Chain A
Amino acid sequence: MTEQEIIKLTNQVFEESFEIEKEKLKPEMNIFQDLGLDSLDIVDLVVALQNKFGVKIRNDDRIKNIRTLGDIYKFVLSLKAEGASPSL
């Protein structure tokens, strides 16, 4: 899976689960202030990312540091580098 594919699939999660327009999905966007997510949405974001990428990340402490969409791209890329999931 390439970086571009990860970005595409992550953006799909934001469009499908949080109804955010494609034009707003830029790496520098803060997922709370700019994209309007709250703490409950983060639970659903984790479930959606797990489903999209076939990973288990619910207990991964790095989630707490995520602020921007770019942080999510990097997080998923790091999972790929670690070989966290066979589907990556």
Chain B
Amino acid sequence: MKRVVITGLGAVSPLGTDVPALMQGIEEGKSAVRYMDGWNQYTGLRSLVGAPAKVVNEKLIPRTIRRSMGRMSIFSVQAADQAFADSGINREMISSGRIGCIVGSTMGSSQSLNDAFELMLPEKDLTCLPAMKFFQCVSHTAAMNVAHYLGLTGYVMATSAACASGLQAVGAGYDLIRLGKQDAMLCGGAEELHPTVTGSFDILFATSANFNHEPEKTPRPFDANRDGLVCGEGSGILLLEEYEHAVERKARIYAEIIGYHTCGSGVHVSQSNKDSIIGCFRHALKDAGIGPEDVDYINAHATATIHGDKEEAEAIREVFGGFVPVSSLKGYIGHTLGASGSIELIASLIMMDKECIYPTRNLESVSHDCEGIYHVMNKLNKKINILFKNCFAFGGINASIVCKKLK
């Protein structure tokens, strides 16, 4: 099997339009969560907060390429562009067929889906539909648009596993490169904030509804007063590259991916399950050839739901004990759903580079059911040799990835 390293990072997040803006916001302890004007028109929507990202400079994308993009594709194309530039890979490689992309999301552009139904359904008239709505609505819209924008001729795929989509994309890219199928892959996730998206969690009582007038105080991962998740949006894209290929061109290497696992719980479609999470952790550690004691930092999924945080904390406690620092980034940027795995992995790689761990924002009083693990509640200066990133999703889907700093 070939070795796989990460040589490029790109992100559009609720904290800004690139990776430095994301990290500066986290460093300063900022919250991107806002009261969402206009959402109170939706009857029954209890959660009126969100973490929006800004669409900027979209006109730099030529119209004939941009026309098939909803917000999430614009985010992902810009993030992919950043990652590609950051990697320094020669543009001539783009048409070699040896570089592709995997970009995951829960679904296609939620705004475009909404627009399409609003146009078509009142009169049940298909003649009102513009041609481009289809391309904005399909589940592989972000992957398709990244490939089209950059001219990629290698593998083009889309993972669709809700909140695990982005991490599954990175894992799938890792598998393709280590099997020798591709030399490099742009991998990550994208998602779009929309009241119908928050609403789909809200009707299941999984959203935060107690902080509509104090938005910066939510979400509260692992906290005693947590009351649910807050949806965000954006895209995170990483450039994965075969190790020898990266070394030969003297690329900057952020880390090596040494292990990955994804699995279903087979138990429940919405509730996280501790036992299956434990299984995922152990398979990922085995794939990496390391023990839990070798891990220096766990970047948790921890969205601040009552049940999900408890199950993740219990699983971490059982596998890693109470000595591995754990933090969640949802308090800064909300839950960017399909993008969360890749955006948060990018932030974790920067933490590895800076040798510091940022705390779980809004974690003031650890909930008794989340005790027994090492919660990072203040910035912690620590060398991270190996980091462990989790994502869990509706559908009972778990994913964990292990990255190691190269000496």
Q: How many A-B residue pairs have CB under 8 A?
A: 25
| Least CB distance, B65 to chain A, in whole angstroms | 12
| Least CB distance, A2 to chain B, in whole angstroms | 27
**Which residues on A sit within 8 Å (CB–CB) of B63?**
18-19
Judged by a CB distance under 8 angstroms, whether A1 is at the interface is no
A43-B127 in contact (CB<8A)? no
Q: Is the interface of A mostly helix, strand, loop or mixed?
A: helix
B130-A36 in contact (CB<8A)? no
| Least CB distance, A44 to chain B, in whole angstroms | 5
Judged by a CB distance under 8 angstroms, whether A24 is at the interface is no
Judged by a CB distance under 8 angstroms, whether A38 is at the interface is yes
**Which residues on A sit within 8 Å (CB–CB) of B179?**
none
Binary interface profile of A, 11-49, with partner B (CB < 8 Å = 1, else 0)?
A: 000000011000000000000000010101101100110
A56-B64 in contact (CB<8A)? no
Question: When chains A and B are docked, how far (Å) is the Cα of A58 from the Cα of B64?
Answer: 22
Quick one: closest B residue to A36, CB to CB? B64
Q: Is the interface of B mostly helix, strand, loop or mixed?
A: helix
A47-B64 in contact (CB<8A)? no
B127-A44 in contact (CB<8A)? no
Question: When chains A and B are docked, how far (Å) is the Cα of A19 from the Cα of B63?
Answer: 8
Quick one: closest B residue to A40, CB to CB? B131
| Least CB distance, A30 to chain B, in whole angstroms | 16
What are 16 A-to-B residue pairs whose CB atoms are below 8 Å? A18-B63, A40-B67, A40-B131, A41-B67, A41-B131, A43-B130, A44-B67, A44-B131, A44-B132, A47-B128, A47-B130, A47-B131, A48-B130, A50-B127, A50-B128, A56-B127
Listed in ascending order, the chain A residues whose CB lies under 8 Å from chain B are 18-19, 36, 38, 40-41, 43-44, 47-48, 50, 56, 58
